Amino acid sequence: MPRLEIADDGFRLDDRPFRIISGGLHYFRVHPDQWADRLHKARLLGLNTVETYVPWNLHAPRPGAFRLDGGLDLPRFLDLAAAEGLHVLLRPGPYICAEWEGGGLPSWLLDEDGIALRSRDPRFLAAVDGYLAALLPPLKPYLAGAGGPVIAVQLENEYGAYGDDPAYLADLAGLLRTHGVDVPLFTCDQPADLARGGLDGVLRTVNFGSRVEAGLDALRRLQPTGPLMCSEFWIGWFDRWGAAHTTRDPADAAADLDRLLAAGASVNIYMLHGGTNFGLTSGANDKGTYRPTVTSYDYDALLDEAGDPTPKYEAFREVIARYAPVPDEPVPAPGPKLAPTVVELDASAALFDRTSLFGRPVRADRPLTMEQLGQSFGFVRYEAELPTAGATVLRVGEVRDRAQVFVDGQPVGVLERENHEHALAFLTPRSGARLTVLVENQGRVNYGTGIHDRKGLLGRVTVNGEDLADWSSSPLPLDGIDDLAVAPTGPLVGPAFHQGSFELARPADGYLALDGWTKGHAWVNGFPLGRYWSRGPQTTLYVPAPVLRPGRNDITVLELHATTTRTVELRDRPDLGPAED
């Protein structure tokens, strides 16, 4: 493919004027068997480019390890994009935000006391160097200079909203070049942050969802010549637990796209297809109050969570056709869906009895953080003995993020970071009673200075004002649920797995509804669908067709509290909750 050039009057490709019309599509939020379908729908929309972040934390789950397989096979994704005739904007970070766990930064960085992320801290830059040394050489054939689809690479991500150190950005640019990136680099920032987030000699782009003229004017004031580009044209938004589902009127979003293209600007639509925060990968925000992000990343995008075109897709296609060629093919029809089916989960097993799921317990005079335990996702089980019987007040410095407290196996309360809770009162039945605290990582903060977000029980832990010592900390990463050995049983006290099966003639997309369940996680055939929570807004979890199979299929639910039913339902449509007024 020809190389992209940055000229005073705009982009040029193969020495011809070129406008980037791109859409966001994160390969790691889409089942790999569905990548080709989503990319084909990108081309039918009239896009000539797709954009993707790269999540460092998934590709490098621990120091010295690096993965490019399965759902992380980025070379295969790039091959599929090229087969559709699409260019690619690659955004490798190292920080990506993306409402993704920790903004994509691996949790093991936080095992270093005092490390300053997104800075010139030598420890951070050394880790970034290792990441890029593993990521970029396999991608070199996919750069445009080698005939591949990647025409530009982003430097950092909205850095101006976080810091103001051009030397740090220069260090990152040097690492990208050292490791073989020979295509143009660009930065992106919101209008107010453009001055702080840019680097001389690197193309600046701007992010916004409305006020098109003001955003482009802010960019032009700082960058008098060169291409105008909105690298994130926000057409929807993400949701958080306990709030309403966010939507945007298709006509309103399309009108702003029209203004953007009429101004001669290039665009990356955020998002073409949002996808799903499968498993435990959703992030969180903390601007004084911690707010975890939901499982769905539907984003009110052009393609919904199942990849079906929305009314917004059709509205945008009409606008794009005024400025660029659009394939003379009909808008794709929605894909097949599962017939509604009720599934009984008639076998159960108590979580705390499944010792094989827990890592080796580590004893210390205080609770250890997830990072100290070498753990990224999931839970930690903390245990200690309570010294005396009677009235007890447990105080914790910081709960990161949600703690269920048990005494001799009986639940006595919950402490939530979101509600700024630090203390819990209960009656201890006997001296030496076993205190168990199950702490859930609900998502590391992905934006702002809060990204230094260590998980577990932090700070001083006291019982009736006295330090509680001799703790056992056991990691529960939930990275596999094989061999649960569930069996028919009556109601269980405390967290428990529930399992059932259903028969299927032909796989299709569907949605798992958990009406009557409280909070937990769900899997189908071992594939992690994600978190559910009765507080909403979303009440269904997307089930991709490729995780299903003809014949028997298994559903597993880890319920952390209690359920009013032993059934779940597979449905043919999602419920992401009531929209904002």
Q: Which residues are catalytic?
A: 158, 232
Please count the other Cβ atoms lying within 10 Å of the Cβ belonging to residue 221.
11
Determine the residue type at 145: G
The single residue listed with the structure tokens 């050995």 is 485
Whether the bond between 94 and the residue before it is cis, its omega within 30 degrees of 0, is yes
Whether the bond between 370 and the residue before it is cis, its omega within 30 degrees of 0, is no
C-alpha 541/C-alpha 532 separation (Å) is 7
Report which of 55, 132, 66 is spatially closest to residue 100, judged by C-alpha positions. 55
List the beta bridge partners of residue 503. Answer: 552
The dihedral built from the CA positions of residue 93, 97, 99 and 103, taken in this order, carries a sign that is: positive
Kindly report the backbone phi and psi dihedral angles of residue 170, in degrees, each rounded to the nearest multiple of 5, phi listed first.
-65, -40
Report which of 216, 306, 86 is spatially closest to residue 205, judged by C-alpha positions. 216
Report which of 213, 252, 214 is spatially closest to residue 234, judged by C-alpha positions. 252
Give me 250's structure tokens: 């298709």
Enclosing H/E stretch for 126? helix 122-139
Where does 99-249 show beta strands of DSSP type E?
150-154, 185-189, 203-208, 229-234
The dihedral built from the CA positions of residue 510, 516, 517 and 518, taken in this order, carries a sign that is: positive
> DSSP 3-state assignment of 557?
strand
Q: In what order do the strands lie in the sheet with 567-571?
A: 341-344, 567-571, 510-513, 540-543
C-alpha 354/C-alpha 486 separation (Å) is 10
Q: In what order do the strands lie in the sheet with 551-559?
A: 347-350, 496-504, 551-559, 519-524, 527-533
Give me 572's structure tokens: 């043919």
Q: Directed axis angle between helix 250-262 and helix 212-222, to 10°? A: 30
> DSSP 3-state assignment of 64?
coil
Q: Directed axis angle between helix 122-139 and helix 74-83, to 10°? A: 50
User: What is the chain's percent helix, strand, coil content, to nearest 5?
Assistant: 25, 35, 45
C-alpha 336/C-alpha 323 separation (Å) is 33
**What are the counts of helices (DSSP H) followed by strands (DSSP E) for the chain?**
9, 32
C-alpha 357/C-alpha 336 separation (Å) is 36
C-alpha 78/C-alpha 150 separation (Å) is 8
CA distances in angstroms from 578 to 67, 117, 235, 519, 535, listed in the order given: 38, 37, 18, 19, 12
